[in-house]
Amino acid sequence: MLRAPHTQPAPLPEGAATRIPMQDHETDGHRARKRFGQNFLSDPNIIRRIIDAIRPQAGEPMVEIGPGLGAMTAPLIERLGHLHVVEIDRDLIARLHERYTPAQLTVHEGDALKFDFGGLCADAGQPLRVVGNLPYNISTPILFHLAGFAERVKDMTFMLQKEVVMRMVAEPGTEEYGRLSVMLQYRFRMGRMFDVPPGAFRPAPKVMSSIVRMAPLPRAQLGAQDEALLGAIVTAAFGQRRKTLKNTLREFMGDADFDAVGIDAGLRGEKLSVAQFVAIANHCSGRG
**Binding-site residues, please?**
39, 41, 66, 87, 111, 133
For every residue of 212-228, DSSP letters joined together read EEEEEPPGGGT--S-HH
**132 — alpha (psi -120 to 50), left (phi > 0) or beta?**
left
Q: Which residues are annotated as a binding site for S-adenosyl-L-methionine?
A: 39, 41, 66, 87, 111, 133
**176 — alpha (psi -120 to 50), left (phi > 0) or beta?**
alpha
Closest listed residue to residue 206, CA positions, set 148, 163, 247: 163
CB 29 within 8 A of CB 208: no
Cβ neighbours, 10 Å, residue 188: 22
Q: What percent of the residues of the chain are helix, what percent strand, and what percent coil, each to the nearest 5?
A: 45, 15, 40
